[in-house]
Amino acid sequence: MIARKRVLELIEKGEGLNVEFKQRFSSHEKIAKEMIAFANTRGGFILFGVDDDKSIYGIESEKSDLDLVRDTAEKFCEPPIDLKIDFVEIDKKDLLIVEVIESKIKPHRIQDYKKDLSLNDAQVYVRVNDKSVLASKEMIKLLQSQSAGKILEKYVVGDQEKIVFNLLDKQEAVTVKELSKFANISDRRASRTLIKLVRANLLLIHQKDNGESYFTYSRMM
């Protein structure tokens, strides 16, 4: 069980990379979005009965909200998501505390009843600061390779990789579009090159609120 003190600390700290407040259960799709983002990133807590401004409202029905949360994780997320669920009383009001565990089988997506994940229309979410945003194709591919345990131990640096390094020597980050332009290659090829560099631990991938990915040097560089 989560300690009451820990819940108070989460509320005081406010929403962020690992914390989301929900005054009430809104819809299966909206809650699934938050669950998926946490599972695909570093895990986190969803506190039901707490508003964005930290005001405590409490939940209306323990059983009803519990059933909705479990239903969302099992039926609206693909693959289903593992949760730890607790109830904590704050100011004589019951809060539903949902801990989403970081997944080992990323990426998760909104249930679309398709056999395989489609890069073009799958709704895959990741956590960026205090928001859950749609993952870029690059982020989805990286999540797939990480879950499959695909690490590039031997990687030959070619002309395209040298262009990436030259760009990063002049600026803090590089995008797929920038590499495509300067290397005179397709976006798909540029994307593939940058993802391989991340898998080789030479670059880090980041994502903006608008869903666009950008790449920087790894700390190892």
Q: Model-level pTM greater than 0.75?
A: yes
pLDDT, position 91: 92
Consecutive H or E run containing 85: strand 83-90
CA 150, 212, 104: angle at the middle one, nearest 5? 35
* Residue limits of CATH 3.30.950.30 in the chain: 4-133
CATH 1.10.10.10 spans which residues of the chain?
141-217
C-alpha to C-alpha distance for 27 and 98, rounded to whole angstroms: 16
The answer as to CATH 3.30.950.30 being correct for domain 4-133 is yes
What would the DSSP string read from start to end of 56-68?
B---S-HHHHHHH
Calpha distance 209→190 (Å, rounded):
21
H/E run at residue 96:
strand 93-100
C-alpha atoms less than 13 angstroms from C-alpha of 133 in its C-beta half-sphere: 18
pLDDT in tens, the chain (221 residues): 889 999 999 999 999 999 999 999 989 999 999 999 999 999 999 999 999 999 999 998 889 999 999 999 999 999 999 999 999 999 999 999 999 999 999 999 999 999 999 998 999 999 998 999 999 999 999 899 888 776 666 677 789 999 999 999 999 999 999 999 999 999 999 999 999 898 888 899 998 888 889 999 986 54
Which pLDDT value is given to residue 158? Answer: 87
Q: Which CATH class is domain 141-217?
A: mainly alpha
* One-letter identity of residue 182: F
* Helix 187-199 with 137-147: angle, nearest 10 deg: 40
